[in-house]
Amino acid sequence: MILLATLLVLAVAALGWWLARRRARQVELRAHGHRDRLHSRPVYHGLYVAIWTGVPALLLLLAWIVVQGPVLDALLLSSLPQDVVRGLDENARAVLLNEIKTRAAGNALPGQPAPYVLEAVQRLLRWRAIADMAALALSLAVALAGLAFSWRRLSPSFRARKAVERAFTWLMLLCASLAVLTTVGIVLSLIFETMRFFTMVPLSEFLFGLRWEPQIAFRPDQVASSGAFGMIPVFAGTLLISAIALGFAVPVGLLSAIYLAEFASGRFRAVAKPTLEFLAGIPTVVYGFFAILTVAPAIKRFGEALGIAAAPNSALAAGLVMGIMLIPFISSLSDDALAAVPNALREGSIGLGATRAETIRHVLLPAALPGIMAGVLLAASRAIGETMIVVMAAGIIATLTLNPFEAVTTVTVQIVTLLIGDTEFDNPKTLAAFALGFVLFLVTLALNMLSMHIVRKYREQYD
Amino acid sequence: MTDRTEQKPSETAKDATAENAAADIDANGRIDWHSPQMLARLRRRHAANRRMKFIGLAAILLAAGLLSILVGSLLKSGLPAFRQTFITLEFDLKPELVKPDNMRRGKWRKIVKEGLLRALPEDMRNNRKLKRKVLKIVSRSAPYALRDHVMKNPHLVGRIIPFDVLASDPYDQFNKGLLPEYVGAGERKRPNPKLGGPEVVRAFRVLKEQKRVSLPFNWGLFFNADSRLPEAAGLAGAIVGSFLTLLVTFLISFPTGILAAIYLEEFAPKNRFTDFVEININNLAAVPSVVFGLLGLSLFIGFFGVPRSTPLVGGMVLSLMTLPTIIIATRAALKAVPPSLREAALGVGASHHQMVFHHVLPVAMPGILTGAIIGMAQALGETAPLLLVGMNAFIPDISNMGITEPATALPTQIYSWADSPERGFVSRTAAAILVLLGFLLAMNTLAIWLRQRYSTKW
């Protein structure tokens, strides 16, 4: 029904567009060469009428969709016999409402419904029909009113173009604000769920606790029935894997960038650059599978050769594969930083007799250092936030260790494992994922801001 | 190793200053460029230069080597899954087994078993042990495939028909030479238990000698829905799901991203708010993807009540992630349009809006499309946010797919398969990854082609 109303509104808007444009065209033809020409081209007259016809009515429909469900729920609850509703808490009411809605949709449920439920089903269906008709009639009325209003304002001297352009500017501003709204949405939803988490688990335990055992007991007398939510071991695991990844990727990526920027021939560059970019475009789930298929068994064999027992999902395997993922990222950012160093510095150094290596070490690297640092910080932020590689290749149990052959878990692994298949946000287990997500968001945000700050502060030093 | 070479030049520099005072400078203060010390120093410096070049080259080759190991191991384990073992058998569709009035209750397993035994020689047919295990050769989905075939063609009942059935996963692997006939070595060498025993292997060999076993291209990988059986599992559901998700993503993020970028580049006044929006966009581009998943879970699903696991909610989350990419690409494309074009438009009387929408935007469109395709390619490979909004549903039937129906996507399908314990799924996962990489390669090629075909040098 809402869909039908939307289509009808759009049809009316299109009709308004066509009528207004036609009228403006006729005026234009008649007035050809006269003084009282149109201010705006006919298409703007059409658009003006279409905007006034369509936008308010569609906004009304949107609001209707949002409001209808909760309003009907409230009406339905208040129409049920008082003695039934009074004894129920929040959840039981939701279950009852759900039962009524399921039956109203014509789906069978086990058991014989209570008579008041059947009455409520009938009421709900009746109300829904009324609400749908009302939505249809109201939106059409609003559309026609908009049509009439804008139609009456049209005249040859009417500045339709200005009005349409103003509407477009607002639309564009709205789109640009979506980026801000997304950030606000992320922050608000994370804060909201995190606050709920901290009503169940004290903040000090989360920040300083040394045990992370987020299981929920099935029976109250079970062993370890309480669960523990100390994020230190989870965060330590994240840092261990990220450190391995960066320790591998930063030297390799930086040296590749140096070679590509300063030593390589044009032909070699033409092959190597796209290869590195191809590495950068591979989805991380592919790296994750590569880790379990090839790297983890290789590390296990390597550990056995050294006489060390390596876990099948060792931190080393996840870290190394993450390092492979970061190489092109670091390499391309360092390449940009090196390319941004003015040629005068390069040529000056070589002109004084320095070899290429000396130029790189004493002139280019210090000059490009801010850019390279910014790149490394961005890479660190990516390593900490990287999810699929660690979900597939790292462990689930939080262990506080520095041994790279052992399995550790990370913040992102915990977020995913706590939330897969779970949608109830009423226990500390799922809410803990949001608390971890909030910490993750803050850490990566800080790293990104720091990196942007470094770039901005040192960028134009040589220009 | 890096450490040592990076130390070297500074040592030379120190040496140079120390020796300068002594050997190289003669009484007149002239430098002797050919003194032995000078030549030795020069050799050392050139050696350091060569070392640095060598280390850089080694780093690149290491990266390239890792890439080739990655691609190589995926190809090695994925390529076999592009072919699939089929067995051609004759099935006797006896009415008393088929039950023509209600074929769903027919004894299809028995029909398949008899079909297998018919093909074998007398002595094998009567082997009790083999009789029990002979079904191990064909897929557990074979009876259903035969049933569906007969239900579509009811006139076949009562006849003996030839029909190609899927081999089971162990025999598929065995036929491709990936599963050994015996496991263990020396004393503990024994027949591979996955193959069901030596008599079943012998029966399979007989079928092979009769040229009943074929290994055609695996169209099922692309056109079958997901299944718990590796040999019957295909990517059709994931491909359709990814397509629907990307459609939603594109419809939201493409117009929004372009309008936002036009506003920021062409209309926005230089003020605090605009700066704030820009910082926001740059930050969003670097927020971990899993955080977007949390946003989708708590805001879209929890608060707005968008149905879980659907391409709708997946596409909404991914569109927020691609938005920064599209905005940044669009702004770069708009910046590249020369001022002369703008001034010419304004000069003949266009309004600012007309100048942007009628003249600048069409010229910038190839660049914008390139950015949009690259953004879509990123969205196609994105996994973690889709996992959080539940887009890893098991979809064994693809006849009922829509943007508000539960679905899965290519990367989440890869994740689910990678998690499956059956051996056959390793190969399927690698094959699915190759398919995904194929799509990504095609999209990136399209983007590069667009850029080169329509880019204008001003």
DSSP B363-384: HHHHHHHHHHHHHHHHHHH--H
Listed by number, the residues of chain A in 308-327 with a beta carbon closer than 8 Å to a beta carbon of chain B are 324, 327
Q: Are residues A303 and A345 in the same domain?
A: yes
Are the C-beta atoms of B166 and B142 separated by less than 8 Å? yes
Q: Which domain holds residue A172?
A: 160-189
Cα separation of B247 and B252, whole Å?
9
Q: Are residues A151 and A258 in the same domain?
A: no
- Closest CA in chain B for residue A421: B390
For residue B277, which residues of chain A lie inside 8 Å, CB to CB? 176-177, 179-180
- Overall number of domains in chain A: 3
Q: Are residues A65 and A140 in the same domain?
A: yes
Indicate yes or no: CB of A281 within 8 angstroms of CB of B444. Answer: yes
Q: Are residues A176 and A242 in the same domain?
A: no
Indicate yes or no: CB of B437 within 8 angstroms of CB of A286. Answer: yes
The mean pLDDT values, 10 residues at a time, for chain B of 458 residues are 43 49 66 84 93 93 90 92 92 86 86 89 83 88 90 88 92 90 82 86 90 91 90 92 96 95 91 87 89 91 84 94 93 92 94 94 92 93 92 85 88 92 86 95 89 75
Split at pLDDT 50, 70, 90, the class of A258 is very high
Are the C-beta atoms of B377 and B250 separated by less than 8 Å? no
pLDDT of residue B10: 46
pLDDT of residue B5: 42
Q: Are residues A277 and A376 in the same domain?
A: yes
Indicate yes or no: CB of B60 within 8 angstroms of CB of A360. Answer: no
Residue that is last in its domain, among A158, A178, A197 = A158
- Report yes or no for ipTM above 0.90: no
Q: Is A132 left (phi over 0), alpha (psi -120 to 50) or beta?
A: alpha
Indicate yes or no: CB of A357 within 8 angstroms of CB of B52. Answer: yes
| Strand-strand pairing, A228-229 and A212-213 | antiparallel
Split at pLDDT 50, 70, 90, the class of A255 is very high
Split at pLDDT 50, 70, 90, the class of A175 is very high
Residue that is last in its domain, among A135, A158, A181 = A158
Per the domain annotation, does A433 fall within a domain? yes
Q: Are residues A372 and A391 in the same domain?
A: yes
Q: Is A381 on the interface with B (CB under 8 A)?
A: yes
Q: Are residues A173 and A251 in the same domain?
A: no
Per the domain annotation, does A211 fall within a domain? no
From first CA to last CA, the distance across chain B in angstroms is: 48
Q: Are residues A60 and A105 in the same domain?
A: yes
pLDDT in tens, B72-83: 999 999 999 999
Strand order in the sheet with B86-92: B160-166, B86-92, B213-214
Mean confidence (pLDDT) of chain A: 86
Residue that is last in its domain, among A113, A137, A158 = A158
Q: Are residues A184 and A263 in the same domain?
A: no
Per the domain annotation, does A391 fall within a domain? yes
Q: Are residues A293 and A154 in the same domain?
A: no
Placement of tokens 């604000």 in the chain: A177
Q: Are residues A133 and A271 in the same domain?
A: no
| Strand-strand pairing, B86-92 and B213-214 | antiparallel
Q: Which of A165-179, A280-294, B120-134 has the lowest mean pLDDT?
A: B120-134
Q: Are residues A149 and A294 in the same domain?
A: no
pTM for this entry: 0.87
Cα separation of A427 and A445, whole Å?
27
Per the domain annotation, does A221 fall within a domain? no
For residue A291, which residues of chain B lie inside 8 Å, CB to CB? none
Specify which residues B90 forms β-bridges with: B162
DSSP B214-274: E--B-THHHHS---SSGGG--SHHHHHHHHHHHHHHHHHHHHHHHHHHHIIIII--SSHHH
Name all domains of chain B by residue range, CATH numbers in brackets: 2-80 (no CATH), 83-217 (no CATH), 236-454 (1.10.3720.10)
